[in-house]
């Protein structure tokens, strides 16, 4: 479990940062707003974490077959 905690913290930080750069690259108008008004960084960070969640890139592998819902 300790390894999962360490690796999980690393993965989520890395994926959030790379996803945020990608999001700003894909939305140049938002990037320009940010460049024009650096005070927006404070609200940009939680919004990017909400919008580009790092959890979508986390995966788990089942060790055995499982039937869900019948």
Q: Quick one: CA torsion of 43, 45, 49, 52, rounded to 10 degrees?
A: 100
Q: Look up the domain containing 12 and give its range.
A: 2-54
Q: Between these two residues, 9 and 23, which has the higher pLDDT value?
A: 23
Domain assignment present for 61: no
Based on the structure, what is the number of domains in the chain?
1
pTM flag (> 0.85): no
pLDDT tens track for 12-70: 788 888 888 999 999 999 999 999 999 999 999 888 888 877 666 566 778 888 888 88
* C-beta separation of 48 from 16 below 8 A: yes
Q: CA 20: distance to chain centroid?
A: 7
Cα dist. 22→8, 18, 30, 51 in Å?
Answer: 21, 6, 12, 12
Predicted pLDDT of residue 1:
67
Domain assignment present for 13: yes
């Amino acid at each position: 479990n300790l390894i999962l905690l360490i690796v999980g913290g690393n993965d989520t930080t890395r994926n959030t940062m790379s996803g945020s750069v990608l999001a700003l690259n894909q939305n140049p108008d938002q990037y320009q707003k940010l460049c024009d008004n650096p005070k927006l960084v404070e609200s940009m960070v939680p919004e990017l974490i909400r919008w580009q969640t790092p959890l979508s890139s986390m995966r788990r592998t089942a060790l055995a077959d499982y039937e869900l819902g019948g």
